[in-house]
Structure 1
C-alpha cells in the first residue's frame, strides 16, 4: 500500500511538472509571437513613414519645378504680354486699344493656367500617357533630338502617389538623357500587355559602362522610389549603344 501511494505521488508530481512545463512553453510562445508582432508593426510603421517621406520629397521637387516654370512664364511670357498691352492701351488708335484689350484676356488665361499648375491636384486630372507626351513634346520643341511615344494598351489606372513618383522618375531619366547622353532620339514605350507592365525610356546616345558608373547614388535613388510604390527599376547601358531604363509596375 505504501509503495502504491509513493507511485501515485510520483505520477501526480510528474504530471504537475509536465503541466508546468507545457504552460511555460505556451507562455514563452505567446511572448515570442507578441514580440514578433510588435517588431512587424514597427517595421510596417517605418516602411509607411519612409513611403510618406518619399512622396513628400517628390511633391516638393515637382512643386519646385512648377515654381521655376511659373517664374519663367511670368518673366518671359506674361511680362511681355503686359508690356505690349500697356503700349497698345496707351495709344489713341481704336485698333491698338482693341488689341490691348485682347491681350488682357490672353494674360488672364495665362495667369489662370499658371495658378492651376501650382496646385498638384492636376496630377489626378492627367494620365501617365498624356504626361509623357507633354514632356516629350517639350524636348521636341527644343529641336534637341527626335522623340517618339508608343503604348500598346488602354490608359493605365494609377493612384496619385504612383503617378507622382513615376512623373518624377520619367523627368529625371529624360533630364539625364539630355544632359549626358547626346542622343539623336529619345523614345518612351508602355507595354501594358506584359506582366508586370513595363515602361521603357530609351535613347540612342553615347551610353556608358555600368561597371564604371559615376552617378550610382542617383540610380539608387530612382530604384528606391520605384520600390516605394511596389515596382522595380532596371538599367541597361553600354558605351556607344545608348541607355534603356525599364520601369516595372506593380501588378
Structure 2
C-alpha cells in the first residue's frame, strides 16, 4: 500500500508538472504576442510620424532648392559684374548662397536618414506581423492541447482519487470507531463510574452516620446520595444521547428536541424554553442528526460554560432552509478571542460547513450569547 501511495503521488506530481509546463508555455507565448503587438503599434505610430516628416522635408527641400538656384544665379551675375558691386555685397551674396546650399544638404541628408528609418520600420513591421500571427496560431494549438490534457488528466485524477478513497475507507472507519470508543471510555470513567464509586463510599457513610448520629442525619446523607445517583443517571442518559438519540428515528427532530431539552432542564435546575415555527416535517436522517447535534452542542455550551439560568431554543422550518437560534443569559465571551481546546465551536463550524450552512455567534462578556445557524434544506 505504501508503494502504491508513493506511485500515486509521483503520478500526480508528473501530471501537474506537465499541465503547469504547458500552461506556462501558453502564458509565455501570449506574453510574446502581447509584446509584439505593443511594439507593432509603437513602430506603426513612429512610421506614420516619419512619413509626415519626410513629406515635410521634401516640400521644404524643393522650396530651398529653388532659393539655392536663384541665389546661384545672383552670385553668377555678381561675379560677372563684380565691378558694379562692393566687396561687402559680393561677400553677402556668396555667404547667402553657401548657407542655402548647406541647409539644403542637411535637409537632404536628414530626408535620406528618415527614408532609411522608414524602410527599416516597414521591414520590422512585416516581421512583427508574422510573429503575431504565428504566436496566435501557436497559442490556439496549445489551448486545444491543454484542454485535452486537462480533461484526460481529470479522469486520471478522479480514478486515482476513487482508488485512494476505497483503500482508505476501511482505515477511516476503524479509526473513527476507536476514537469513539476512547471518548466513551473517558466519559464513562470521568462521569458515571466516578459518581457510582462515590455513591458506594457515601452509602457506607450513611450507615455510619445512622449508627452514630441517628435517623435525621442519615436521612440528610441519603438525600445527598440520591442527588449523586440522579447526576449519574443524567450522565448515562447524556452519553446515550451523544451516541444517538433513539427517538430521532422514531419520532423525528422536534419531539426528540423537546424530550432532550426537558431532560437538560430537569437535571440542571434551569429554565429552557423551546419554540418550533413553521410546518413540522421530517428530514433525511443525516440532516436530523446534524441539526440535533448542533442544538445539543449549543445548549451544552450554555449549560457548562455560560452559567446560564435561562436558555431559549427556536427552530424555524422554511421551505428552502431551516434556521436555529439558541440564546442564553449567561456570562458571554469574546468570539474573536481564540481559546485553547475550544473543540465545541470548532466542531459546530465544521458540521455547518459540511451542510453548506452559515453559523454566526453574537456574544460579549456579561451580555449572554446568541447562536444562529441557517442550513439550506429543501422540502
TM-score, L = length of structure 1: 0.58
Q: Retained in 2: the 8 A contact 1:181–1:205?
A: yes
Bigger shift: residues 164-173 or 213-222: 213-222
Matched with 2:275 is 150
Match of 2:350 among 221, 224, 229: 224
**1:139 partnered with 2:264:** yes
Cα deviations by residue, 1:149-183 (Å, 9 ceiling, x for unpaired): 00111224322122222222222221111111111
**1:173 partnered with 2:298:** yes
Higher relative contact order (CA 8 A, sep 6+): 1
SS in 1 for 2:279: coil
Deviation of the 1:221 alpha carbon: 1.9
Deviation of the 1:130 alpha carbon: 1.3
Match of 1:187 among 295, 309, 312: 312
CA distance in 2, matches of 1:163, 1:219: 19
Q: Retained in 2: the 8 A contact 1:127–1:155?
A: no
Match of 1:164 among 289, 313, 327: 289
Matched with 2:54 is none
Bigger shift: residues 150-159 or 172-181: 150-159
Match of 1:207 among 314, 332, 339: 332
**1:247 partnered with 2:373:** yes
RMSD value, Cα = 4.5
SS in 2 for 1:245: strand
Q: CA 1:161 to 1:64, structure 2 compared with 1: closer, same or farther past 3 Å?
A: farther
Q: Retained in 2: the 8 A contact 1:235–1:246?
A: yes
SS in 2 for 1:244: strand
More helix by share: 2
**1:234 partnered with 2:360:** yes
Unaligned runs of 5+ in 2: 1-135, 197-236
Unaligned runs of 5+ in 1: 1-17, 77-113
TM-score, L = length of structure 2: 0.40
Deviation of the 1:133 alpha carbon: 0.8
Deviation of the 1:39 alpha carbon: 4.8
Cα deviations by residue, 1:14-46 (Å, 9 ceiling, x for unpaired): xxxx99997765343211222245556777999
Q: CA 1:220 to 1:236, structure 2 compared with 1: closer, same or farther past 3 Å?
A: same
Deviation of the 1:202 alpha carbon: 1.1
Q: Retained in 2: the 8 A contact 1:196–1:250?
A: yes
